[in-house]
Amino acid sequence: MRTSARAAAAIVAAAAVVLLAACSGSSAASTGASKKATTVGFIMVGSTDDAGYNEAVEDGAKAVEKDLGTSVKVITADNIPENDSVTQTMQAMANQGAKIIFATSYGYYKYALEFAKAHPDITVLHQGGFLDGTFPKNFGTYWGEAYDPVGLGGMAAGAVTKSDKLGFIYAFPIAQSIANIDAFELGAQKVNPNAQTYVVNTSNWCDPLKQKQAVTALLNQGVDVFSQHQDCQSTVIQAVKSAGKKIVGYHYDAKSLDPDGWLTGSAWKWAPVYEAIIKSVEGGTFTGSKYNANWTGTFADGNNPLQLASFGSSVPADVQSKILAEKDALSKPGSSIFEGPIYCQDGTVLVPAGKTATYADTNSFSCLVKGVVGTLPKS
C-alpha cells in the first residue's frame, strides 16, 4: 500500500490522535496504571473493522489489555501505510513511553528492523517477516503456519463445489500467498480430485473495487466457491453472498456476514502470542529466547495462532468429520499439507516423493501446483 508524502503526513497526524485517544481511553489509564506498567504499541496497516487481518490484531490488543490488566498500557494506531509513516508512528509511540512495539503488517518489515537497530531500549516485533541473518537483541518475528489451516478450508471448498471450480483472490505473489494458494488446492484435491483453483491477484491488500472485479471475473469462469488472501474480506464475502455462492474465509471468523454461504476458514488468535512475548520482555528473558528469532506456531506444536474457523451450515457433518480428522493428522510432528510428491503446473517437482516441506521450504515457494489455473505476475 503506497501513499503520497502529503497523504502519509496526514495519516501519521491522524495516528497521533488515535494514540492519544487510545491512551486516554485505555482501561490502564482510567484505573490509574502503575508507573511500572509496560507501554505496548500495536501498529496496523488497515481498518480495525475490516472483518479480517487488522480486526484480528485489534482483538488481540484488546485481549492483552484485558488479560494483563494494569501491568500494561496498550496504545494502537491503524491505517498506517507501509512506508516511512510506520517509522514516524513507532517514534510517536516511543515518545509516549512504549517499550514494546508490534509492527503487524508484512510491508513494515524493513522499517521495524531498522527502528529496532536504532532503539536498543525498545523491543520490536514484526508480524509475518523472516530474517535470514543475525537478530538484534531487541528484535523478533512471529507468525503461524498458515498453509495447514488454509488447506483444511480447501477441503471444505472441494467437498461443496458443484462446478469443481474454486476461486482464490490474492494481493501479491509473495511466498506466503503462493503457499496458501497451493495448500488450498491440495486440500480440495484430498476430497475432490477434479477440483481446480482459479486465481486472480489485486496488487493491493484491501481494495474493495478490485475485490468486486475479481469476484465478477471468477464468477464468469464458473467458480462457485471462493477464498482469498486479502487483509479485508467484507467486500468479497458480500459479493459472493449476492451471487448465491460459497465462501472460505481467511484471517477472521466472519461467518456472521453470510451464515448460509460461509463454509469455514482460518482465524487468527493472537493474544496468547502477544502476551507470551510481552511477559518475556518484562521478565528479562526475551534476548536469546525463541521470540528473539523467527518464531512460527504450528498445529504440531499445539501453538498455531491461526486456527480453523467455525463451520457454516452448508458443510455436511461427514465433511466436517473429515476436516477435523485431517487437522488431527496435521497436528502430528513432521506433518504438513505439503507432503510429496507435489508438482508445479509445468510438471517440475516442488516436493519430492517421501519428503515433507518445512516452513522454511515454503518461504521459497515460487510456483503454483497442478490443479491451480492461472499464472503469477512477474512483479
Instruction: Classify 5 as helix, strand or coil.
Output: helix
Sequence-distant (6+) residues with CB within 8 A of 321 are none
Q: How far apart are CA 68 and CA 273, in angstroms?
A: 13
Q: State the CATH number of the domain containing residue 108.
A: 3.40.50.2300
**Domain presence at residue 5:** no
Q: For 248-286, write each residue's pLDDT tens digit.
A: 999 999 999 999 999 999 999 999 999 999 999 999 999
Q: Provide the number of structural domains found in the chain.
A: 2
Q: Do 157 and 128 share a structural domain?
A: no
Q: What is the Cα 118 distance to its own chain's centre?
A: 27
**Domain presence at residue 14:** no
Indicate whether 26 pLDDT > 80. no
Q: Do 314 and 200 share a structural domain?
A: yes
Band of pLDDT at residue 22, cut at 50, 70 and 90: very low
Percentage of the residues of the chain whose pLDDT score is greater than 90: 86
Q: Do 333 and 241 share a structural domain?
A: yes
The closest of 345, 325, 344, 343 to 335, measured between CA atoms, is: 325
Q: How far apart are CA 259 and CA 315, in angstroms?
A: 11
Write the CA distances from 257 to 160, 233, 246, integer angstroms: 19, 10, 12
Q: Do 128 and 74 share a structural domain?
A: yes
* Residue 328 amino acid letter: D
Strands of the 262-268 sheet, one edge to the other: 306-308, 262-268, 246-249, 225-229, 165-170, 196-201, 372-373
For cell 516442488, name the residue. Answer: 350
Q: Do 131 and 279 share a structural domain?
A: yes
Q: Do 238 and 187 share a structural domain?
A: yes
Q: Do 362 and 263 share a structural domain?
A: yes
Q: Do 275 and 157 share a structural domain?
A: no
The secondary element (H helix, E strand) that includes residue 262 is: strand 262-268
Instruction: Classify 59 as helix, strand or coil.
Output: helix
Q: Report yes or no: 229 and 266 within 8 Å, Cβ to Cβ.
A: no
Instruction: Classify 266 as helix, strand or coil.
Output: strand
Indicate whether 230 pLDDT > 60. yes
Q: Do 194 and 98 share a structural domain?
A: no
Q: What is the pLDDT of residue 32?
A: 40
Indicate whether 6 pLDDT > 50. no
Give the chain's count of helices (H) and strands (E): 12, 15
Indicate whether 1 pLDDT > 80. no
Residue 347, exposed/middle/buried by CB under 10 A (0-12, 13-18, 19+)? Answer: exposed
**Domain presence at residue 13:** no
Q: Report yes or no: 237 and 258 within 8 Å, Cβ to Cβ.
A: yes
Cα dihedral 253, 255, 257, 259, rounded to 10, equals 180
Cα dihedral 368, 371, 372, 374, rounded to 10, equals 100
**Domain presence at residue 230:** yes
Q: Do 343 and 198 share a structural domain?
A: yes
Q: Which residues form the domain of 75?
A: 38-144+270-301
**Domain presence at residue 17:** no
Q: Do 282 and 328 share a structural domain?
A: no
Q: Do 282 and 230 share a structural domain?
A: no
**Domain presence at residue 21:** no
For cell 496435521, name the residue. Answer: 330
Q: For 35-49, write each residue's pLDDT tens digit.
A: 589 999 999 999 999
Give the domain-ending residue among 250, 283, 301.
Answer: 301
Q: What is the pLDDT of residue 378?
A: 74
**Domain presence at residue 33:** no
- Provide the whole-model pTM: 0.87
Q: Report yes or no: 249 and 306 within 8 Å, Cβ to Cβ.
A: no
